[in-house]
């Protein structure tokens, strides 16, 4: 039996009865947008993150965009202002910036964690820098205490991209609880995944929460009165109901992911494979388990021959994509060019112990087929 990179059917099957009941409840309610399910989920998710406000959006990209638009609407940002983003992230982090008329500046990353490098951030700050947009990549928080201190010193707004880090903690403080605002994605494959698209903004800033909600609802807070030029980006009742079911299991799921990660970290002893770095006091939620290997292509094929599916996050650096070729880079990128070395292994709550051990054994056999095994 092949081991899929991610088996979403199995993941959601765990909650199938509750999901179906919640879906039926929404169908029977006759109310499908902006109702009790959304209010219930927003309250629960804000509480989970430890912030007062959560606002559902259509997806994670829109959550990022709506915060930046709101800050422009409030006069805190203007077109052409610079936003520091990590050079290694999913494209959405960068498109949110360009979509709002702001200028992304790509900043180098820490070679161990692949999160933002604090010294590189400091070196990238110019008088035009207005926003710091850290990504908690793979499910591990960026170095937020240092980044928040830098932001404070330079008067920067901080927007956390938490799309991969629901429930992750640093010093006991959760993702989404550090910056002036944070954006989450509930894309089905994320750690807290809907059964369709979804996202949320969380913040302690009540004015910002109100503005984000209005901008995502045609610039309107009162029906048919439009105070701002807005868009349509809302979390619907069915997805909110699905997310309420799954939020209750998020911490248990993260614990299962941690057990997979621990088995990989303990078991893999192949010197050709570099394991991911976990920084101190981080409660990693392991959205992705990314190893590095100079012979990545051969390793991926070796695993595929053994029925183990892998993926690459991400195969191309951001400046190599056509629309972003002219982006400003803060420094020569020392560490961000890792796209040819990285490989993401299967990691999800329903991966069995037997499957995890098969992955470990296959990794240890790479280029050592004739070795005795435990060298």
Ligand X SMILES: *Cc1c(COP(=O)(O)O)cnc(C)c1O
Helix, strand or coil, per DSSP, at residue 62: helix
CB of 57 to ligand X, least distance (A): 9
Give yes or no for residue 90 binding ligand X (CB under 6 A). Answer: yes
Question: Contact at 8 Å (CB) between 136 and 104?
Answer: no
Name the segment binding ligand X (CB under 6 A); options: 40-48, 55-63, 74-82, 269-277. Answer: 55-63
Indicate the residue among 130 and 287 with the shorter CB distance to ligand X: 287
Of the listed pieces 36-44, 86-94, 113-121, 323-331, which binds ligand X according to CB under 6 A? Answer: 86-94
Secondary structure (DSSP) of 66-135: HHHHHHHHTTS--TT-EEEEESSS-HHHHHHHHHTT-EEEEE-B-TTT-SBPHHHHHHH--TTEEEE--B
Instruction: Identify the residue among 3, 45, 51, 60 touching ligand X (CB under 6 A).
Output: 60
Residue whose beta carbon is closest to ligand X:
60
How far is the C-alpha of 53 from the C-alpha of 338, rounded, in Å? 37
Are 59 and 233 contacting, i.e. CB atoms less than 8 angstroms apart? yes
* Of the candidate residues 26, 61, 84, 151, the single one contacting ligand X (CB under 6 A): 61
Which residue in the set 53, 71, 178, 187 belongs to the binding site for ligand X (CB under 6 A)? Answer: 187
* CA-to-CA dists, residue 5 to 285, 345, 355, angstroms: 17, 7, 11
Report 8-37 residues binding ligand X (CB under 6 A): none
Three-class DSSP category at 261: helix
Binding positions for ligand X, 108-137, rule CB under 6 A: 135
Q: Choose between 71 and 187: whose C-beta lies nearer to ligand X.
A: 187
Count residues contacting ligand X (CB under 6 A)? 15
Cβ closest to ligand X, residue 160 vs residue 355: 160
Residue 195's contacts (CB-CB under 8 Å, 6 or more residues apart) are 12, 19, 188, 238, 239, 242
β-bridge mates for residue 106, sequence order: 85, 329
**How many angstroms from the chain centroid is the CA of residue 227?**
31
CB closer to ligand X, 110 vs 197: 197
Find how far residue 87's CA is from the centre of its chain. Answer: 15
Q: Residue 54 Cβ, how far from ligand X at the closest point, in Å?
A: 15
110: three-class secondary structure by DSSP: coil
Handedness of CA 66, 71, 72, 73 (dihedral sign): positive
**Whole-number minimum distance, CB 64 to ligand X, in Å?**
7
Report the alpha-carbon distance of residue 179 to residue 158 in Å, rounded: 5
The yes or no reply on residue 56 touching ligand X (CB under 6 A) is no
Is 89 a residue that touches ligand X (CB under 6 A)? Answer: yes
Question: To the nearest whole angstrom, how small is the minimum distance from the Cβ of residue 162 to ligand X?
Answer: 8
Per CB under 6 A, 216 contacts ligand X: no
Q: Which of 38, 68, 87, 92 binds ligand X (CB under 6 A)?
A: 92
In the bound complex, what is the minimum distance in angstroms from residue 161's beta carbon to ligand X? 5
* Of 19, 59, 215, 247, the one binding ligand X by CB under 6 A: 59
The site string for ligand X over 147-186 (x = CB under 6 A, - otherwise) reads --------------x-xx--------------------x-
Q: What distance, in Å, lies between the first and last C-alpha atoms of the chain?
A: 28
Comparison of 62 and 253: residue with beta carbon closer to ligand X: 62
What's the closest the beta carbon of residue 92 comes to ligand X, in angstroms? 4
N residues, the chain: 375
| Residue 199 lies near ligand X (rule: CB under 6 A) | yes
Three-state SS string over 184-245 comes to EECCCCCCCCCCCCCEEEEECCHHHHHHHHHHCECCEEECCEECCCCCECCCEHHHHHHHHH
* Segment interacting with ligand X (CB under 6 A) among 9-17, 89-97, 116-124, 266-274: 89-97
Beta pairing class for 82-86 and 220-222: unpaired
Binders of ligand X in range 269-298 (CB under 6 A): none
* Binding-site ranges for ligand X (CB under 6 A): 59-61, 89-90, 92-93, 135, 161, 163-164, 185, 187, 197, 199
């Amino acid at each position: 039996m092949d081991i899929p990179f991610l088996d979403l059917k199995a993941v959601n099957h765990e909650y199938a009865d509750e999901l179906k009941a919640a879906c039926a409840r929404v169908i029977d309610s006759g109310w499908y947008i902006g109702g009790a399910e959304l209010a219930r989920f927003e309250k629960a998710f804000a509480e989970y993150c430890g912030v007062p406000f959560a606002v559902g959006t259509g997806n994670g990209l829109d959550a990022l965009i709506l915060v930046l638009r709101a800050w422009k609407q409030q006069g805190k940002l203007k077109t052409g202002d610079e936003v520091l983003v990590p050079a290694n992230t999913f494209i959405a982090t960068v498109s949110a910036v360009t979509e709002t008329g702001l200028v992304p500046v790509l900043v180098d990353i820490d070679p161990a964690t692949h999160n933002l490098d604090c010294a590189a951030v400091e070196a990238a700050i110019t008088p035009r820098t207005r926003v710091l947009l850290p990504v908690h990549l793979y499910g591990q928080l960026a170095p937020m205490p240092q980044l928040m201190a830098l932001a404070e010193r330079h008067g920067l707004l901080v927007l956390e991209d938490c799309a991969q880090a629901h429930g992750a903690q640093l010093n006991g403080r959760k993702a989404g609880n550090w910056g002036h605002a944070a954006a989450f994605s509930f894309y089905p494959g994320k750690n807290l995944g809907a059964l369709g698209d979804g996202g949320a903004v969380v913040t302690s800033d009540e004015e910002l929460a109100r503005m984000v909600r209005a901008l995502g609802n045609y610039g309107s807070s009162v029906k048919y009165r439009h105070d701002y030029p807005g868009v349509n980006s809302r979390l619907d009742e069915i997805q909110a109901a699905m997310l309420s079911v799954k939020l209750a299991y998020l911490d248990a799921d993260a614990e299962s992911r941690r057990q997979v990660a621990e088995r990989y970290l303990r078991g893999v002893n192949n010197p050709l494979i570099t394991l991911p770095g976990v920084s101190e006091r981080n409660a990693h939620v392991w959205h992705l388990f990314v190893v590095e290997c100079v012979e990545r292509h051969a390793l991926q094929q070796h695993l595929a021959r053994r029925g183990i599916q892998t993926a690459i996050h991400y195969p191309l650096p951001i400046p190599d994509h056509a629309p972003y070729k002219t982006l400003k880079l803060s420094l020569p990128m020392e560490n961000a060019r890792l796209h040819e070395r990285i490989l993401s292994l299967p990691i999800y709550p329903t991966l069995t112990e037997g499957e995890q051990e098969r992955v470990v054994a296959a990794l240890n056999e790479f280029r050592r087929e004739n070795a005795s095994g435990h060298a």
